[in-house]
């Protein structure tokens, strides 16, 4: 068994919590391979060369973080040769750093050699089964034929469930910047602008504010189609912008509405109905409240609403991943169990609440908000431009 005795930097996460989670899952050694979990475990590291791609020659970039239960002082990182530059500028906290690889097999072989030093015969190895290439998984299984490979997704999700102040700061910056970008785009576009024009403008606005543009789901007029296209936004029509932009990996995901001209009474009433559900869903959010209370509060208002036949409510976790913990429903569009529905919310958890009206005549009307559990209850990031934002441009 390897024992590194030289002084080590402090791990940027709760190692005792990770040890407990690994113990509960029966995992002896953790092999993390997703970009987001490696970023979390390394304290914010993102490979600059592979920010927007993974493919390289005949293989792909694959970061690997190795952690033996109860031995944070022996944690190791195995990466691409380009990451040596980043390690020189800001050294990784782990005791073992090996950035000499170029593909998904050679990096796994180096990680496997290190796992053997930590534990020659681990009984159970935790791997991210949804985030490990087939050739890497084969190399891991070949190296440890007598070990059980278990999925580590749950362990790592629970480790990230409660956000640190630094993480919350990045989520706030991302949310505010997406809202500011939406406001700027609506003010500078109007009749004749295509959905493609608007999405491209939003991409530029988010990028200029320091975000990495992830996506924009967009509708115009009475259409419920949310893909960018050459459809034009015309006089009197509504616009929905549902965009995710990330700040150092942390996602700001919000939705706001626009309209060309003055919104009529019906539009004002419809958005007010959506807003009522949103506000109701937030009221129960506080440390100690059960996750299912969010749905109960939202649905109590929604079921009495005149728009209930065409409206649905959804709440999910947000952070480095959309739909991460807390998991609040097993009937949403992303399949998972409602693990947190009957468990208390914790300080630092982040919940996205979204209410969507698909009106058969007026179109797609939606609000989505990022809500954080705070010591005093909750706080909404990017809590602005919630009404009908009037177009200010001419296309």
CA 207 to the chain's CA centroid: 18
Residue 25 above 80 pLDDT?
yes
Residue pair 196/343 in contact (Cβ under 8 Å)? The answer is no
pLDDT band at 388 (very low <50, low <70, confident <90, very high): very high
Supply the pLDDT for residue 4.
Answer: 41
pLDDT in tens, 63-89: 999 999 999 999 999 999 999 999 999
- Backbone φ/ψ region at 163: left (φ over 0), alpha (ψ -120 to 50), beta: beta
Class for the domain spanning 15-160: alpha beta
Over residues 256-272, mean pLDDT: 98
Across 191-198, average pLDDT: 98
Domain extents for the chain? 15-160, 165-390
Q: What is the pTM of this model?
A: 0.94
pLDDT band, residue 188 (cuts 50/70/90): very high
Q: How many angstroms separate the CA atoms of 203 and 185, rounded?
A: 10
Fold of 165-390: Creatine Amidinohydrolase (3.90.230)
Please determine, for residue 99, whether its predicted confidence score (pLDDT) is greater than 90.
Answer: yes
> CA torsion sign, 138 to 144 to 150 to 155?
negative
210-253 pLDDT, tens per residue? 999 999 999 999 999 999 999 999 999 999 999 999 999 999 99
Look at strands 212-220 and 148-151 and give their pairing: unpaired
Instruction: Give the CA angle between residues 127, 167, 40 to the nearest 5°.
Output: 20
Mean pLDDT of 367-380: 97
For the cut 50, the answer to whether the pLDDT of residue 7 exceeds it is no
Q: What backbone torsions phi and psi does residue 257 show, to the nearest 5 degrees?
A: -115, 145
Integer Cα distance of 385 and 84 in angstroms: 44
Indicate whether 328 pLDDT > 90.
Answer: yes
5 pLDDT more than 70: no
Average pLDDT over residues 90-102: 97
Mean pLDDT of 37-51: 97
Place of tokens 């959309």: 322
pLDDT in tens, 144-169: 999 999 999 999 999 999 999 999 99
Question: How much is the pLDDT for 8?
Answer: 52
pLDDT at 395 over 70: no
Q: Report in angstroms the alpha-carbon separations of 305 from 55, 271, 315.
A: 49, 12, 19
């Amino acid at each position: 068994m390897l024992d590194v005795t030289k002084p080590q930097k402090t791990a940027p996460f709760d190692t005792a919590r990770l040890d407990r989670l690994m113990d509960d899952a029966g995992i002896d050694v953790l092999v993390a391979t997703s970009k987001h979990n490696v970023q979390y475990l390394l304290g914010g590291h993102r490979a600059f060369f592979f920010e927007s791609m993974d493919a390289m020659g005949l293989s792909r970039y694959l970061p690997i973080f190795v952690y033996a239960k109860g031995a944070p002082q022996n944690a190791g990182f195995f990466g691409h040769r380009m990451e040596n530059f980043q390690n020189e500028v800001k050294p990784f906290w782990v005791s073992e750093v090996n950035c000499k690889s170029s593909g998904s097999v050679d990096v796994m072989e180096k990680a496997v050699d290190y796992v053997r030093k930590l534990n020659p015969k681990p009984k159970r190895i935790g791997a991210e089964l949804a985030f490990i290439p087939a050739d890497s998984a084969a190399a891991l299984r070949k190296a440890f034929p007598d070990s059980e490979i278990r999925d580590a997704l749950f362990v790592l999700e629970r480790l990230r469930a409660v956000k640190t102040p630094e993480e919350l700061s990045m989520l706030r910056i991302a949310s505010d910047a997406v809202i500011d970008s939406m406001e700027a785009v609506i003010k500078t576009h109007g009749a004749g602008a295509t959905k493609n024009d608007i999405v491209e403008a939003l991409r530029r606005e988010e990028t200029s504010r320091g975000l990495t543009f992830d996506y924009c789901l967009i509708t115009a007029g009475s259409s419920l189609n949310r893909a960018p296209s050459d459809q034009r936004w015309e006089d009197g029509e509504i616009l929905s912008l549902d965009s995710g932009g990330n700040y150092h990996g942390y996602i700001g995901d919000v939705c706001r509405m626009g309209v060309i001209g003055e919104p009529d009474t019906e539009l004002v009433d419809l958005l007010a109905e959506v807003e009522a559900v949103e506000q109701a869903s937030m009221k129960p959010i506080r440390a100690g409240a059960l996750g299912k209370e969010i749905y109960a509060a939202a649905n109590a208002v929604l079921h009495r609403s005149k728009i209930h036949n065409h409206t649905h409510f959804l709440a999910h976790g947000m952070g480095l991943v959309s739909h991460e913990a807390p998991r609040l429903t097993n009937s949403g569009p992303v399949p998972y169990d409602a693990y947190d529905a009957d468990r208390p919310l914790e300080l630092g958890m982040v919940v996205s609440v979204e209410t969507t009206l698909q009106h058969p005549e007026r179109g797609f009307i939606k609000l989505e908000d990022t809500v954080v559990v705070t010591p005093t209850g909750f706080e909404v990031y990017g809590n602005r431009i919630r009404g009908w934002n009037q177009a200010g441009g001419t296309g």
